[in-house]
Each structure stands twice: as C-alpha cells, then as structure tokens.
A and B are shown apart, each in its own frame.
Chain A
C-alpha cells in the first residue's frame, strides 16, 4: 500500500482484516469501509464482541473445544452420551458436525494432523489427553472423523494403534465420502449419512 489514502489507524485495520480467511486486501478495504460507515451499529459492537471473546474464550481442558467455560458446554452437558467420542482435527469440524445435529456423543479436538514434514508431532496434538479419556473407561466407541489426506489418514492410523491397545473399538466415518480435507465443506445431509455409515477402522 504505497500511496495510501487513509491514515495509519485505518491502514492497520485493513492489514489485520486482510489476514482473515477468504479476505484479500481488496475485500479487506471494503470491509473496513463498511465498518467505518456503520461505526455505531457494527464497528463498536464488533470491537466489544472481539474484546469480550479474546478475554473469555478458553480451550476446554477435556476435549480441546473452544468455549467461554472450561469444561466446554458439550463436555458439561448431561444430555450427551458419555460412551461415544468423535475425534476431529479442528474446532471447525466439530461445528460442522453440530450443525448437522446428527451426533449426540462427546468430542475430542486434536488441533491438527500429524506431519513430519510440517513438524507436527504427536506431542503437538491433543492425543495424550484422548488416550487418557479412553483409559478412564466408559468409552464404547471412538469415531474418527479426520480428513482424507495422507496426514489425516496417518493420524487416524496412529490413534487407532494406540486405542486398540486399550481395547477400545475405533470406527471411521464413511470413506469414499469426498471430504477433501474439511468436514466444513460437506452439507448437513451428507455429513449425517457419513456418520451413520461409519465402519471399523
């Protein structure tokens, strides 16, 4: 932004907005303009919501989900089945499954997938906690809903290896569903069907 028309405050806002997924410099400028134009009804409430979220949001120490409380609402809910754990890579995947409202068990968010080349090792992921949850007992099935990439499949294999040693049954949501990485891209019906037709890993 060599010949910037706006002052440093606005340039900083645009530069930060441009880092959001789906926003490039062009759409970040448009978003900034919109925020400024709707300062009272949009910009100020948004800034407050962000400060509030930044202040209160925690990572659930049980499952890795994000929420304002720890344990998270899903872990704390008495209506969820305790014997089922669905393992996902990212919180976004958990949200996608919740949107489909086809699953009534608990979750476990890994925070990524194993990749030696990217330097993501088992200790960088929320795997030890998952093993601990399984070891604590009362789990009848762990459902893996990981991406179909080499990293996702390797992670699924790795976790299965660890869990089977504990005698926990491990299933995988239907393969052949073109997940292409993220559950987020699937429509709710497909997601529900994939979950329903899960099979032993």
Chain B
C-alpha cells in the first residue's frame, strides 16, 4: 500500500547519546532493536521532537544536548525530510548555543511556530512511562488526554496556559487576602472562558475516540469505554455550549472564594478532571485489570487515536511505540503490526530483541542500535 506520511531522512546532531547519526528511510515501518541503554528511545525521542512540546520524555530542552566526559554540547539539532501526500518537506528543530532553552523550528527553511508541526506531521506515541497510566495519579491521565486533544486542537495549549496563569493569579489574591470582587471576577472570567474551551476540546477528543473504538469492533485489543470526571467536561459532553458552561463555572468560582482561600488552591475545575477508562469486555475499571491487559487497553487507545487523527488530517499519523511489543503475546503483536500497516503511516518501534518484529517479515526496515551506533539489519 502507499503510505502518505513518512520520514525519509533523519539526522541527529549532539542529541542525547548521539554525536551525529543519519538514517535514510523509506515509507515502511522502522524497527529498532538493541540492548537497553543503547539509545533506541533517544532516537524515538528525536522523532518526537518533530511535534510541538517537549517530546515523549517531556524533557527540558537543554537536557537534550549530548553530554559526556564532563562536557555538554552547546546545542542540539534534529533534521528530517518528510514525504507527505506526494510532497517533500524539510523540518529542522533544535536549540542555539546562546539560548539552549528556546526551541527553534524551521519548516522548509523558514522559522515557524512549533504548533504548525501538528498539522504537518501528526504524531502519537506510547512509552513504558505510560504503563502505570491507569494506576497513577489523575494528573497523568489528564496529561495523556490533553496530549491527544492537542493533536486535534492546537488552541488547547494556549487555553490551558491561560487557565493556569489566571488560576495562579486568583490564588495569589486569595492567599494575600485581597478580596477585590472586580479583580477576582476578571480572573475568574478568564478561567471560565479558557476552562470551558479546554473542557469542550477534551469532550470532543473523547467522543472522537469513542467513535473510532466503536467503528473497529474486530480489533485484537480490548475495547475501552471512556468517561470524563469533571463538571465542565460532563456539561460539554451533554451538549451544553461553552458560553453556558463558562457562565456557570464563573458563578461557582465566585462562590468558592472562601473555600479556595482556606484550601490554598482551587478545589474544582478542569485542572482536576480525570479520564476514566473501563475494560468493556470485562466490565472492570482499567486500574483493576492485569498489567498485560492494561498495556493492551492503552495500545488500543493509541491506535484509536491514530485512526481519529488519520480521519481528521486525511493522513495517517507517525506512530512511535517504545518497548510496546514486548508486553504483548505473539497474536496481539501480529495484530498490532497489521493495524499499524492499515493506518497508512510510518510506525517506529523499539525492542530489545529483533524477533519481536518477526511478524513484519520483510515489510519493515530493521536497524540495530548499539551505544550510539545505528546499523541496518
């Protein structure tokens, strides 16, 4: 089949453990095998920097610079050529030595906002750090959902930072005992406006995921039933408009001033929402499933997200799966590879042993990664 989005060349400069690395690729899946600590995840992380944000490890930008023997490289860079719907684009990103915490993005040689990458090179990933997603704190699941939301709604990041900033401003006033109703009201209006927009975007993401899950009943992965715990999101899912949601949230915030002052933080709002996942076949909350079932549920969710993005952009996203195959039994592994192939975009997988990728037979590009060296085979 023809794949409409692929990285055809990738070059790393002073990135993590790579002084310099260059890969020439075609559109087929990329499988990276090698021992732990060899740099497979670093390579995946380099690819993830071709999307907005801080990549799949949520790293600080300056920490991506190669370090060793007590020396740190002054800068890092990732350059890629992508083939997208019959066109070729050059993407470069990295930091400059004089500003190691400011990311530079160039698309076809021109400086561009990182947010422009979302539409150009849609991407999803699954990493071992997400293995405890269903067991961990709500913040992890919220971030997971926000990351999915961001892929379809680039405004989501701006709304989230507006919300965060207005909330911190309001809390400072409450902490300082400044009960100025005009000022608090102004900040609560900002929180309500951005919070309602965030909730609406999250609700849309959830609905789109649910649609994709419903549309693929023959998947080899368990079916997730999704729900959002959060008054604003629930109102959005019930079809209330952002204006109505903002109005009632403004009112609630005004009523909660004394309570939030005593608590030292805002006790309700979209910054406390949670994504609730249920294993539908077992009718059990995800957190109560076995580790293996949790991983399979999560993999199924990522695949549903990838299909939703493919539907949105008319182009399959790049899918990065770090150590995802090892936890799956051979049948599910084969199913994963088949579903990735159906997506029509390039998948990147890592594993300790190359036999994990046997189901690809000849239809993958295999590389061995050993201590910063990448060799075909």
Binding site for B on A (CB under 8 A): 114-117, 121-122, 150-151, 153-158, 161-162
Contacts and interface: CB of A to CB of B under 8 A. Distances in A.
B168 A158 contact: no
Interface SS of B by simple majority: helix
B169 interface: yes
Nearest to B175: A116
Contact of B190 (A116, A117, A122, A150): A150
Interface string B186-217: 11011000000000000000000000000000
A154 B168 contact: no
B185 interface: yes
Given A116-B176, A157-B189, A150 B182 contact: no
A117 B189 CA distance: 17
B172 to A, nearest CB: 4
Interface SS of A by simple majority: helix
B162 A117 contact: no
B176 A157 contact: no
A158 B183 contact: yes
B322 to A, nearest CB: 36
Contacts of A121: 178
A122 B183 contact: yes
24 contacts: A114-B183, A115-B169, A116-B172, A116-B178, A116-B183, A117-B169, A122-B183, A150-B162, A150-B166, A150-B169, A150-B190, A151-B169, A153-B186, A153-B190, A154-B169, A154-B183, A154-B186, A154-B187, A157-B186, A157-B190, A158-B183, A158-B186, A161-B182, A161-B185
B166 A122 contact: no
Interface of B: 162, 165-166, 168-170, 172-173, 176, 178, 180, 182-183, 185-187, 189-190
A158 B182 CA distance: 5
Contacts of A116: 169-170, 172-173, 176, 178, 183
Contacts of B178: 116, 121
In the A-B complex, the 6 residue pairs with the closest CB atoms: A157-B186, A116-B172, A161-B182, A154-B186, A150-B165, A158-B186
Nearest to B186: A157
A158 B190 CA distance: 11
Given A122-B183, A161-B186, A162-B182, A154 B166 contact: yes
A117 B172 contact: yes
A150 B189 CA distance: 11
A154 B173 CA distance: 13
A117 B168 contact: yes
Contacts of B189: 157
Contacts of A155: 186
A114 B182 CA distance: 12
Given A115-B169, A157-B190, 9 more contacts: A114-B186, A117-B168, A117-B172, A121-B178, A153-B186, A154-B183, A154-B186, A158-B186, A161-B186
B360 to A, nearest CB: 46
Contacts of A150: 162, 165-166, 169, 190
Nearest to A116: B172
A10 to B, nearest CB: 25
Query: Most chain-B Cβ atoms within 10 A of its Cβ — which of A117, A122, A150, A162?
Result: A150
B101 to A, nearest CB: 17
Contacts of A154: 166, 169, 183, 186-187, 190
Contacts of A122: 180, 183
A185 to B, nearest CB: 15
Contacts of A153: 186, 190
B102 to A, nearest CB: 15
A122 B294 CA distance: 52
A121 B176 CA distance: 12
A117 B183 CA distance: 13
Contacts of B186: 114, 153-158, 161
